[in-house]
Amino acid sequence: MMEALDIFASAGLWAAVLRIATPLIFGTLGALICERSGVLNLGIEGIMTFGAMIGWMTVYHGGGLWAGIAVAALSGAMFGLLHAAMTVPLGLSQHVTGLGITLFASSLSYYIFRLSIPVSGSPPTIVPFQPIAIPGLSDIPFLGEALFSQTAPTYLAILLAVVAAIALARTPLGLAVRIVGENPHAAEAQGIDPIRLRIGAVVVGSALMAVGGAFLTLSAFNSFFPTMVQGRGWVCIALVVFASWKPARALLGALLFALFDAYQLRLSHVVGKAIPYQLFLMIPYLMSILALLVMARRARVPQALMQPFRRGER
């Protein structure tokens, strides 16, 4: 029993939490921004896959790591534009369009990857982001290793969560996004164009999703595999609900999910065969469902989520 608790005292656990959480933070923030403006974006899984592929491909062909992140963001923005064009001015079903984008983007990544990289059991590698030491902070015992030995995108993800929280709650633009998600007609009466704003929110949100995917190939690993996103996008969609559509809670939710995951990887070594390993793999998802039950009761869904805005409609 003590050993199960000792795990929490290891710096490695907390470092793993931040690593595992990073793609989820990007993805959840992206999905959250889309949904706050009233558009559900189920294209996330495919957009993350494409971001992972194109980001890696950029670096493989000689680009810098940050160029990889930028290209991934740009590709995400393009898929976002596609999703927005279908769902916002045309008002098509957001579920169907989103799933369509996921199918399209993941298949297209596979296609591009297969055409441009020779088949091999050990695909080519790039040199990924390295952990950066923050002067002063990284030398603190325990905390330094636990929290300040990450790669740059991880710090960026946390920074973005803070920026998104402030922007949504405290800026005129954030207010406009929120109104459009609650009552687009009221927004229009205020002189805000809900169509343009929604398109903008989906484009920005989708760009963040793609960066989350790019983290997998540019920092968490150094090669691309066509199926490597492994449902992380769907986890992000659930985390948005967990977060009650609030960026700060989204950060918390992603960290909590990552904590369960990092913990179960270690717990299995302590407990051994007493419990089947499948149970450990379930832990993060089970805990997320439990947390969801508690949090979702109080969650306030954006009132106009999934409702297309048609000008002049009553």
Chain residues binding other proteins by CB under 8 A are 10, 12-13, 16, 19-20, 45-46, 102-103, 106-107, 110-111, 114, 119-123, 125, 216, 220-223, 225-228, 230, 261-262, 265-266, 268-269, 272-273, 277-278, 281
Q: Which residues contact 59 (CB under 8 A, 6 or more apart)?
A: 65, 67, 68, 126, 218
Least separation in angstroms between residue 290's CB and other proteins is 20
* CA 7 from centroid of its chain's CA atoms: 27
Cβ neighbour number for residue 174 with a 10 Å cutoff:
18
> Got the DSSP string for 48-97?
HHHHHHHHHHHHHTT--HHHHHHHHHHHHHHHHHHHHHHHTTS---HHHH
Least separation in angstroms between residue 26's CB and other proteins is 14
Q: Which is nearer to other proteins, 49 or 75 (CB)?
A: 49
Q: Which is nearer to other proteins, 89 or 123 (CB)?
A: 123
Q: Which is nearer to other proteins, 11 or 81 (CB)?
A: 11
Least separation in angstroms between residue 234's CB and other proteins is 10
Least separation in angstroms between residue 229's CB and other proteins is 9
Query: Do 16 and 33 form a contact (C-beta atoms < 8 A)?
Result: no
Q: Which is nearer to other proteins, 213 or 247 (CB)?
A: 213
Half-sphere exposure of 163 (CA within 13 A, CB side): 10
Q: What is the DSSP-derived secondary structure letter of residue 220?
A: I
Q: Which is nearer to other proteins, 262 or 304 (CB)?
A: 262
Length of the chain: 314
- CA dist 154 and 158 (Å) reads 7
Least separation in angstroms between residue 155's CB and other proteins is 18
